[in-house]
Amino acid sequence: MEEELQLLIMPSFDSARESLGYEEHDDYNSDTVLFQMGYDGEIINIPDDEIFKIGKGFIGRIQSDGDFYLIKNKKDIKDKEEYILENDLSEGRYKFSAEDHVIYRI
């Protein structure tokens, strides 16, 4: 079992767009914004039972293999299949549990 979660922390699309000087309704190339998101990203390793935070204007994209589940508390673990994480983690506080690949929203 993998004991760490590898996470790419990068600006959200809107934050990257704004850092390039574009407003929401300006004419811009979305590929340029997507490139900037990845360029400004940083890989971090989250150990088992570690609490981590994704700051305002950022997202976290899982780089580790396997399915991960985003749940609010341990009682939801029995139904974890309903909580498979299909998108990026938004800003907020989380706790990673290597057991069963669970990420708790705090």
Q: Kindly report, residue by residue over 53-85, the tens digit of the pLDDT.
A: 999 999 999 999 999 999 988 888 888 888 888
Residue with tokens 């704004």: 18
Q: Which amino acid is at 85?
A: L
* Mean pLDDT rounded to a whole number for the chain: 92
Q: Which residues pair with 20 in a beta bridge?
A: none
With contact defined as beta carbons under 8 Å apart, do 101 and 68 qualify?
A: yes
pLDDT value of position 79:
84
